[in-house]
Every structure is written in structure tokens, then in C-alpha cells.
Amino acid sequence: MMTVLAAAAAYLAGAYHLARMAWAPEYARGPGLLMGTIGALIHLAVHADTWRLSGGPDLSFLSALSWVALGMAALTLLASHRQRLEALGVVVFPLAALALLGHSLDSAGTTSTERLDWGIELHALLALLAYATLALAALLAIMLWLQERALRQRRFTTALRALPPLTQLEMLLFRTLAAAFAVLTLALITGLTFVHDLLAQHLAHKTVLSLLSWLVLAGLLLGRWRYGWRGRRAVKLTLTAMVLLALAFFGSKFVLEILLRRT
């Protein structure tokens, strides 16, 4: 538990330093990124230790959320080294800390889990990475929408001024969407390859919703390339794709594990 608390403290310290930089540009961002990196590394070590002790990845509802949060934190750190994305870290790092705490409570006392075939594990981890990337794109889309609205109303707050320029943020959004589309494509391919008899395994709804999310992303990227789609349309389609993928992976897990208390 002390390891989990150390990771959470590092995440929160990183968010605090990045928030200070967002409000005071002269403040160095190095400490914030460093603490966020330490938090992510400890976060990864916690999951690796759980994997080692249980004989496989823990893919229960809260643990899966923690995997997604770890992916979002890692992607935020990667993007922040080249872009001014302090506001993104301020949001993502506390979420990662909260998700890790949930994972630690959920897995307390768990010593074993059902061993899955390596192909199924690969499919599940790709699906989680796809959702993490798409969730990050959704946050970027919301920031883009807030920035565009502030520009129209000529009301820029200090937090919005900490964001990259509008065109740069839009470019980063579509690069993130392209990455999410690529990872989701790999997740679907591995799912169709390694998962057999979808109806018998009650996975049909997951496949349908994931395919719908994939189609929305494909349409958005095609519309961007062919017709220059941007602004509100891009935001709405990004959020639609994220909600569909969230329902695909987490919808049934939430109902079964949280509401019905079934594994």
C-alpha cells in the first residue's frame, strides 16, 4: 500500500507543479514532468507486481481503469516533452492517482486470477491502450472546444492561455486520433483472431460497439483528410467514439462487477 501511496503522491505533486506553471509561465515545468514520470513508473511497477503474483493481468473493472489511467499518464508525459500541455497533466495525473488507489483496494487480498491465453491478453491490453489514447484525444477535444469558444467570446482565462495555440492543439488532436484508430484496429484484429465463438462468450455487444467506435473514428479521419472537418464536428465525433468504446469495454463490467457484484 505504501508503494501505491508513493505513486499517488508523486502524481499529485506533478499536477501541482504543472498547475503552478499554468498560472505562472516563468515557473519551470521540469519538476512537474519529473514527478509525473516517477508516479507513472511506480504505477507500472504496481501492475507488474500484481501480474507476477496473480499469474496474469488483472482485468477487473477498477484494475482496467487503472491500466487506462496509466496509459493516459504515459501518453501525456510523452506529448508534454514537445508541447505545452501542462493543463493536460493537471487533469490526467490526479485521475491516474485515483485510479491506482481504486486498483489497490480492488485487488487487496487477491492472489490469483484466471490465466488467459497470450493472444487474449494481447487483445485486452491493446483494447485498453486504444481507450487510453482515445480518452486522451477526448480531453484534447474538450480543450479545443473551450479554446474556440473563448476565442469567439474573447474571454481567455489563465488556464486557457496555458494551452498550445489553437492550430497546434488541433494538429495534436488529430495525431492522437490517428494513433487511437491504429491501436483500435490492431485490437479488433487480435480479437477476431484469438477470440472464438463471440456469441457463446457474450462478447457480441463488445464487438459491435467497438466496430461502431472504429467506424466513427474512420469517418472522422476521412472527413478531416477529404473535407477538412474540424471544430465542433470533430469534438462531437471524438466524444461519440470514446463513449462507444467505453460502453464496449467497461459497460458490462460495471453492471456485472459493481452493480451485480458478479465476476
**DSSP string computed for 186-253:** HHHHHHHHH---TTTTT-HHHHHHHHHHHHHHHHHHHHHHHH---HHHHHHHHHHHHHHHHIIIIIHH
Domain boundary among 66, 85, 115: 115
pLDDT value of residue 251: 75
Instruction: Judge if 104 and 125 occupy the same domain.
Output: no
Q: Best-predicted range by mean pLDDT among 43-57, 105-119, 208-222, 246-260?
A: 208-222
Q: Best-predicted range by mean pLDDT among 16-20, 78-82, 104-108?
A: 16-20
User: How many domains does the chain fold into?
Assistant: 2
**Confidence grade of residue 77 (pLDDT, cut at 50, 70, 90):** very high
Instruction: Judge if 257 and 146 occupy the same domain.
Output: yes
| Residue 112, C-beta contacts closer than 8 angstroms, at least 6 positions apart | 54, 55
| 252 has pLDDT over 90 | no
Instruction: Judge if 138 and 87 occupy the same domain.
Output: no
pLDDT value of residue 111: 46
Mean pLDDT for 46-75 is: 86
Instruction: Judge if 36 and 157 occupy the same domain.
Output: no
Query: How far, in Å, CA of 257 to CA of 240, rounded?
Result: 24
**Model pLDDT for residues 84-104, shown as the tens digit of each residue:** 777 789 999 999 999 999 888
Host domain of residue 59: 1-115
Instruction: Judge if 146 and 260 occupy the same domain.
Output: yes
**Confidence grade of residue 202 (pLDDT, cut at 50, 70, 90):** low
Instruction: Judge if 130 and 109 occupy the same domain.
Output: no
Instruction: Judge if 111 and 140 occupy the same domain.
Output: no
Domain boundary among 53, 85, 115: 115
**Model pLDDT for residues 32-43, shown as the tens digit of each residue:** 899 999 999 999
Residue with cell 487511437: 180
**Model pLDDT for residues 224-245, shown as the tens digit of each residue:** 998 888 888 999 999 999 999 9
Instruction: Judge if 136 and 231 occupy the same domain.
Output: yes
Instruction: Judge if 62 and 160 occupy the same domain.
Output: no
Instruction: Judge if 108 and 186 occupy the same domain.
Output: no
Mean pLDDT for 148-163 is: 72
For the ranges 4-8, 9-13, 66-70, 252-256, the lowest mean pLDDT is seen at 252-256
Instruction: Judge if 128 and 109 occupy the same domain.
Output: no
| 110 has pLDDT over 70 | no
Instruction: Judge if 164 and 180 occupy the same domain.
Output: yes
Domain boundary among 115, 143, 167: 115
Query: How far, in Å, CA of 8 to CA of 116, rounded?
Result: 29
- Contact in structure between 190 and 125 (CB atoms under 8 Å): no
Chain centroid to CA 65: how far? 9
Higher pLDDT, 125 or 150: 125
Write down the mean pLDDT value for the chain: 84
Is residue 259 classed as helix, strand or coil in its secondary structure? helix
In the chain, the percentage of residues whose pLDDT exceeds 70 is 82
